[in-house]
Structure 1
Amino acid sequence: MLGASGAVGTAALNALLSLSNVSQLTLLGRKAISGIAVDFVQQHIISISDAHSYQEFLSGHSSAICTLGVGEPSKISKEEFIKIDKKAVLDFAMACKKAGIKHFELLASVGIHPKSRSFYLRIKGELVEALKELNFERLSIFQPSMILTPTNRYGVAQAITLKVWPLLKPFFIGGLRKYRGIPVEVLGQAMAKNIFNKGKGYEMLQWDQFYSVIK
């Protein structure tokens, strides 16, 4: 797992730790996560920009979860965003493929498309197209809209959004259901439990699928 220290990554990690059918879990990151005292968990400090720093730790795993990403893309340059959200993720996926990992899960976003007018949605869309070309036996792309966290992490704008977005749920019906806000705990559980659901090929998971997976 790459990106376990973020909000969604933490939720997915907590869900994995609670599952009885997880026999081995390897966490890769720029720093160790404290408070984990479980025999089946190993942690390795790596450089996300250098696949050679973690390639050896990938063998023996059947699935990979990537929740790596910039929390506030508008706060960094476009070049740095591409370096982290696209190149580092693709390098990780390529390393996973090389190690024989069959199932790759990625935290993305609703609305991504390789030809989107939005720079951020376009880059994510390009990433997914590149991941498809790696031909994993199973590729799961999670596409949440607003991720509802219990605490405000990014200032006034997010504080307002966290208050308002849940009130809009009744208006997101039909084809708009995918824009409903998703509690971060539900999203994390979906990413964890989806590993143990049967599936092959490319799958795109949105609001409805998140809740179906955790039932």
Structure 2
Amino acid sequence: MTRVVMLGATGAVGTEVVRALTAMEEVGELVLVGRSAFNSLEHPKIRAHTADVFDPAAYAVHLAGAEVAICTFGVGQPSKVIRQDFLRIDRDAVLAFGRACKEAGVSHFQLLSSVGADANSLSFFLRAKGELEEGLQALGFDRLSLFHPSMILTPTNRYGLSQALVLALWPRLSPVFFGRLKKYRGIEVEKLGRAIALNLRRSGQGSDVLEWPEIMALASNGKQVRPPETS
């Protein structure tokens, strides 16, 4: 039975990852660490803790015994925060979580990143994501899984006009992206969450990047894993 620790469960992707993980027989315990309480669903496997995510010492005790760590933590609308705050949340806090996980003996770390992440990118957002990935790689996890989705399609509009346009237009644009451009296709948040969860069943060593083709293949592999909500 695998013990999984997770940062970022309260977000749209994180919630779907939790739903999928609780339905997997091989997951024995799911430890959630976050700034706010996790109220999306209840399940006997879930152990939810609130803590200062910018201070690893505040949550390090909850990492003991975990074999897998998953991070979907980050800024929902990067354009709405100043660059300093974005780096503090999306890069520095996540890298600190990675260090704490490595010190606790976690062997497999999974990160929700972004297509195009590159430490040498001219884009501030993609450069920050790339710097984070390089920092995690330097920690030397036995296995590091980097998920690189493009547009994440949610069932509801969470962020106003800009997201409304994305949700309306991106599914129609996806067929335009083929061949090497497939990685830019949009992906439904439930499928992305399921893929991150099911990636626990894959074996491997070292660092691997999962883009749209790999994410979709994972999401469609095996049984439907979304469980009913319990109260």
TM-score in terms of structure 1 length: 0.98
The alignment status of 1:185 with 2:200, answered yes or no, reads no
The alignment status of 1:99 with 2:112, answered yes or no, reads no
Q: Which stretch of the first structure deviates more once superposed, 141-150 or 153-162?
A: 153-162
Q: Which residue of 2 aligns with 1:71?
A: 76
Report the residue type matching 1:61 in the other structure. Answer: A
Find the partner of 2:123 among 110, 118, 124. Answer: 118
Provide the C-alpha distance between the structure 1 equivalents of 2:122 and 2:62, rounded to a whole number of angstroms: 38
1:160 Cα deviation (Å)? 1.0
Provide the C-alpha distance between the structure 2 equivalents of 1:41 and 1:12, rounded to a whole number of angstroms: 12
The alignment status of 1:162 with 2:157, answered yes or no, reads no
Q: Which residue of 1 aligns with 2:49?
A: 44
Deviations, residues 118-154 of structure 1 (Å, cap 9, x unaligned): 1011000011011110010000000000001000111
Q: Which stretch of the first structure deviates more once superposed, 18-27 or 201-210?
A: 18-27
Deviations, residues 7-57 of structure 1 (Å, cap 9, x unaligned): 100111111112122101100011221254322211111101100001111
Extract unaligned runs of 5+ from structure 1. Answer: none
Q: Which residue of 1 aligns with 2:37?
A: 32
Compared with structure 1, are the counterparts of its residues 72 and 35 closer, same or farther at alpha carbon in structure 2 (3 Å cutoff)? closer
Provide the C-alpha distance between the structure 1 equivalents of 2:86 and 2:149, rounded to a whole number of angstroms: 19
Report the residue type matching 1:180 in the other structure. Answer: R
Large movers: runs of 4+ above 6 Å:
none
Provide the C-alpha distance between the structure 1 equivalents of 2:161 and 2:186, rounded to a whole number of angstroms: 18
Percent of residue pairs identical: 49
Deviations, residues 170-207 of structure 1 (Å, cap 9, x unaligned): 21000000000000000000001101211111000010
Paired residues in the alignment total: 215
Provide the C-alpha distance between the structure 1 equivalents of 2:180 and 2:156, rounded to a whole number of angstroms: 29
Report the residue type matching 2:77 in the other structure. Answer: E
RMSD in angstroms over aligned alpha carbons?
Answer: 0.9
Q: Which residue of 2 aligns with 1:85?
A: 90
Q: Which residue of 1 aligns with 2:64?
A: 59
**SS, match of residue 38 in structure 2:** coil
Compared with structure 1, are the counterparts of its residues 22 and 160 closer, same or farther at alpha carbon in structure 2 (3 Å cutoff)? same
**SS, match of residue 202 in structure 1:** strand
Report the residue type matching 1:83 in the other structure. Answer: R
The alignment status of 1:22 with 2:22, answered yes or no, reads no
- Native 8 Å contact 2:7 2:72 kept in 1: yes
Q: Which residue of 1 aligns with 2:135?
A: 130
TM-score in terms of structure 2 length: 0.91
Deviations, residues 56-109 of structure 1 (Å, cap 9, x unaligned): 110111000000000011111100000000000000000000000000000000
Provide the C-alpha distance between the structure 2 equivalents of 1:81 and 1:35, rounded to a whole number of angstroms: 25
1:168 Cα deviation (Å)? 1.0
Q: Which residue of 1 aligns with 2:201?
A: 196
